[in-house]
Structure 1
Amino acid sequence: MKRTKIAVSGIALLSVAALTLAGCSSNDAGTDTPSSGSSADGGASTGDMIIKTNGSEPQNTLIPANTNEVGGGKILDSLFAGLEYYDADGKPVLDMAQEIKQDDAQNLTVTLKKGQKFSDGTEVKADNFIKAWNDGAKFSNGYTSSYFFEDIEGYDGTADSELTGLVKVDDYTFTIKLNKPASDFALRLGYSAFYPLPDVAFEDMAKFAEAPIGNGPYKLAGDDAWQHDVSISLVKNDTYEGGRAAKNDGLDIVFYQTADAAYSDLLGGNVDVIDQIPGSSFATFESELGDRAVNQPAAVFQSFTIPSRLEHFSGEEGKLRRAAISMAIDRAEITKTIFNGTRTPADDFTSPVIADRPTDLAGADVLEFNATKAKELWAQADAISPWSGTFQIGYNGDSSHGEWVDAVSNQLKNNLGIEASGNAVPTFADFRKQVTDRSIQTAFRTGWQADYPGVYNFLGPLYSSSAADGKGSNDGDYKSPEFDAALTAAISETDAAKTKDGFKKAEEILLADLPAIPLWYSNVTGGYADGVENVQFGWNSVPLFYEITK
């Protein structure tokens, strides 16, 4: 979802004025586009301008607070609208909210626009947010994104409890009291975990999750719209009046088994836009698609995680082996030969797309290729406990990840003198299930597509103790009181410079511990078909589907 260069807002405290101004603009992206419901030339829509795109079967059913992967997120972001959304550059734009006022680092007041509706015709009110967030935070639900509510007063990650920090003032106003300062909390509110739910959802959440009723630019095309493991069909939601009103008639999201199949369909004119080019076509897709090719920076970070529960990877031995493995990888060579310049070697745990990320980190040399040092560190680990077995990296076989996994494995063989290989799990759903239920017995590929444009989003959800043990996206169950303290201190600051210094300290702890091995930052690589217009990819790599016409 980007242009060639993207500058996004950092994690500085958001003022009411900034948010209100953003919400007043009807076209924050700065493009000249036809009004909602019209065709590209300004004529009336015929009802058949359906945009076909690629996607993947959601890991879980479609509950906003229980989705933390790209396949489900792409669908939810089309079906629902939150208090705000992020434009192409990552700027927050008011959506359901008339105003988000952050009084200080611990207290906010939200005022909703009146007359906003769900696709079933019921009005979006304060209770729809309060009830949805309480359900999302409920311990017994076990939702994957429940930790997004941990900063709200009353949150208890070990038992069911009420978010006492959410107080209804009237039907269109509620306040949020945080249990600790969080200077970027207003910025987070565009993420899907904070979407509202209609009253009908609470009658039977399991049933609702299979056929959700949202308040966003699209709605399900019908009772059989979601064909599991095949596709999902959405149509324009005429009740939505926000800034993302669809300029097309709907989306058909096809759950391709491979990126090669999606790209083949693009070349054949059988799909309109895709956001993933297969590795086998990195060298040729820009010449094949011409000005319809997309290769832009994105807020996407790639890594692989080595859980400390694996033999040889706990304590001091594990720390040495992680550093050795990291320094045995020639990231520059892989990004050049495997990815043809569509990736950039990582020098931290965030993304260059985030403007206020910390730089000049102490310990970042552990991400630089140094085969000699890697061997020395491996030998020091062997002195603690001799290495045995094969080092493997798990990944989903229905993807192109096997190419880089093989390349990394070969470098580990050559530079450390050990047996190393990939471990392909047939499908993404199976792979994620093994990761989330902790049954995977190898290292495994990990990555992060940002939820909102802030440094904290790359650190808290992935490495904080509160996001471990299946309560969030800390898949390696990394726990460090020192890191947690540094992270809390950073997010408690309302001074941008002090916040940045705090994040720097937190990242330096991660570089010493390496709970994940940073690899590279991803560009979004994609393309669109002849006759497709107004295609724009946003800061987090997803196309702005509502803008696309043909």
Structure 2
Amino acid sequence: MRGATQAKFVVGAIAITLAATACSSSGSSGSSSGNGVVNAIWGTPQKPLTPGNTAEINGSKVVTSILQGLITYDPKTNAVINQNAESVTTNDQQNFTVKLKPGWKFSDGTAVTAKSYVDAWNYTALATNQQTNSSYFSSIKGYDQVAPTKGNPTAQTMSGLKVVDNNTFTVALTAKFSTWPQTLGFLAYDPLPESFFKDPAAWQKNPVGDGPYMIQGGYTAGSNLSLVPNPNYAGTTKPENKGINLIVYTDPTAGYADLLSGKLDVNDVIPTGDIPNMQSDLNGRVINEPTGANTTLSFPLYVGAWNGANGAMLRQGISMAIDRNTIASKILHGSVTPATDWTSPTLGESGGYKSGLCGDACVYNAAKAKQLIDQAGGIPGGSMTIAYNADGGNADWVNAVCNSINTALGNTKACVGAPTATFNDYLNKMSGFQMTGPFRTGWGQDFPLAVDFLQPLYTTGAPNNFSKYSNANFDKLITQGNEAPSTSQANALFQQAQLQLAKDMPVAPLWYSNNLAGYSANVSNVQMDGFKNPVYWAVKK
């Protein structure tokens, strides 16, 4: 599946995962008048705006606006909403028939057909196209031929995908996968027009999609972006506004100042120091509610000092040395909830959430933490850094985590924060396995199922497995969960997989994220979805 995750990250990537919080004024803030166009904060995407290569939130904000696939999820309940899908049916939970609603068109007027999906999925899966979200298709027959673990592809398309007619295609999976239809709202499953395959580079500069918006004036990395309503859009999320100006910021403080002045209408990157005053600053125009995302602390298991014989004990001790409750309330001002597992409580029992799976390692105990760390041989080299991106408002909580660890160890120099200037540079370091100590990670769901928080991040070789964790039992439990005949049986296996994570602690859960955003007096009906994205189409101005 994802990974992003999600995205994402495989079964998911939107990546990242990392709840990207990059932004500071680039200068052009747009008009604050009631012209119907909404000005929203944005950061530069890591990669071109293709569904197969988008695994972080800045890219996701655009891709999910200009492309739409078979289903979406209700912003408030996570319930599945059929968009281009008329139906997704199966008799055996392994072979599926997808029927499309007729009449859908791309913004260039060409038809959205079954071939639009099959070609897009095959393009993303094919290893030579080097798409981040390729592994989302690993459950489809023939994936191992288009994306072999070693050597070159022996096929260009997956044998499990077949076009039946313009509005029907079939999907054959390698094994039973009872929840597969529920994953199809992730952006990697979006269709692409014929123009993309004729010239992908040209399409990336002027993307054509079937979503509620289309890009006006093309796309240039690092520049602001204009979204306008797509007149050909046939789904249920029709824009309530005349467009969205996405404005690049590299400093969240400048973005917040522009929100207060009315130059920005929607801002979902709030500096930590401004959280306590948001309600009064914005006269109550604040969103602070749970969402399907979390923040974690990853350990570089590819560095020998962090993965020795006593590595798990060391990592558990560091996790236990973090006073999550105090940091959540005093530093992050109630905008997060201390984590006790690796998923999100917004999933609910039906989505696979179960509290407490992290065990004692997620409960602050300074004395026990010091005992474990000392027993493991101490922090490698006597001190450690926690890496993070400086443009995302992370400095305060990283410093607080280090202070908590230092207090537990009785050593004021045991831990210190190590900032990287921009989110893009940080992603490149992380994906290039260049970290030397613990580093900030996070995940926003691609679809509301527990497996999306696990498979793309912790299975062996997964695209968002930035710690390089590998455990055969964990991998087996994820596979068994995907093949389980019911969601409840699948969830039980995914919870067992989390117990393996608790034993190995490659990544320490820190807290569950809230959607935190503010909006100007110029707009109304501002919402956030379960993926940490503003619901742009619903904003009225």
TM above 0.5, yes or no, is yes
Which of the numbers 236, 243, 261 marks the counterpart of 2:229? 236
Q: Which moved more, 1:268-277 or 1:326-335?
A: 268-277
Shift, 1:358, TM fit: 4.0
Is the alpha carbon distance of 1:105 and 1:288 closer, same or farther for their aligned partners in structure 2, counting shifts above 3 Å?
same
Is the alpha carbon distance of 1:55 and 1:386 closer, same or farther for their aligned partners in structure 2, counting shifts above 3 Å?
closer
Alignment of 1:487-498 (within 5 A): 487-498=478-489
Alignment of 1:105-504 (within 5 A): 105-156=93-144, 157-158=147-148, 159-160=152-153, 161=155, 162-223=157-218, 226-356=219-349, 357-359=352-354, 361=356, 364-382=359-377, 387-416=380-409, 417=411, 419-467=414-462, 472-504=463-495
Q: Which moved more, 1:386-395 or 1:64-73?
A: 386-395
Spell out, residue by residue over 1:262-298, the C-alpha distance to the aligned partner (whole angstroms, 9 max, x if none).
2111110001111222101111102222331111111
Percent identity between the two aligned chains: 35
One-letter code of the match for 2:164? Answer: V
- 1-structure distance, mates of 2:40, 2:328: 27
* Runs of 4+ residues over 6 Å off in structure 1: none
Spell out, residue by residue over 1:137-164, the C-alpha distance to the aligned partner (whole angstroms, 9 max, x if none).
0112221111110111111242433211
- 2-structure distance, mates of 1:360, 1:49: 43
Which residue of the partner structure matches residue 24 of structure 1?
none
CA contact (8 A) 1:358 1:503 kept: no
Matched residue of 1:295: which SS?
Answer: strand
CA contact (8 A) 1:53 1:252 kept: yes
CA contact (8 A) 2:285 2:520 kept: yes
CA contact (8 A) 2:109 2:232 kept: yes
Which residue of the partner structure matches residue 81 of structure 1?
68
- 2-structure distance, mates of 1:440, 1:206: 32
Q: Which moved more, 1:191-200 or 1:150-159?
A: 150-159
Which of the numbers 92, 101, 119 marks the counterpart of 1:104? 92
Q: Which moved more, 1:500-509 or 1:432-441?
A: 432-441
- 2-structure distance, mates of 1:541, 1:444: 21
Which residue of the partner structure matches residue 42 of structure 1?
none
Is the alpha carbon distance of 1:146 and 1:386 closer, same or farther for their aligned partners in structure 2, counting shifts above 3 Å?
closer
CA contact (8 A) 1:361 1:507 kept: no
Which residue of the partner structure matches residue 57 of structure 2?
70
Is the alpha carbon distance of 1:206 and 1:477 closer, same or farther for their aligned partners in structure 2, counting shifts above 3 Å?
farther
Shift, 1:386, TM fit: 7.8
Shift, 1:362, TM fit: 5.4
Shift, 1:389, TM fit: 4.5
CA contact (8 A) 2:314 2:379 kept: no
One-letter code of the match for 1:132? Answer: A
Provide the TM-score with structure 2 as the length reference.
0.89
Which residue of the partner structure matches residue 31 of structure 1?
none
CA RMSD of aligned residues (A): 1.7
- 2-structure distance, mates of 1:261, 1:227: 22
- 1-structure distance, mates of 2:213, 2:238: 9
Which residue of the partner structure matches residue 36 of structure 2?
49
- 2-structure distance, mates of 1:141, 1:315: 36
Matched residue of 1:511: which SS?
Answer: helix
- 1-structure distance, mates of 2:205, 2:133: 18
CA contact (8 A) 2:344 2:353 kept: no
Number of aligned positions between the proteins? 497
Gaps of 5+ in 2: 1-32
- 2-structure distance, mates of 1:534, 1:112: 31
Q: Which moved more, 1:198-207 or 1:231-240?
A: 198-207
Which residue of the partner structure matches residue 16 of structure 2?
none
Shift, 1:351, TM fit: 0.4
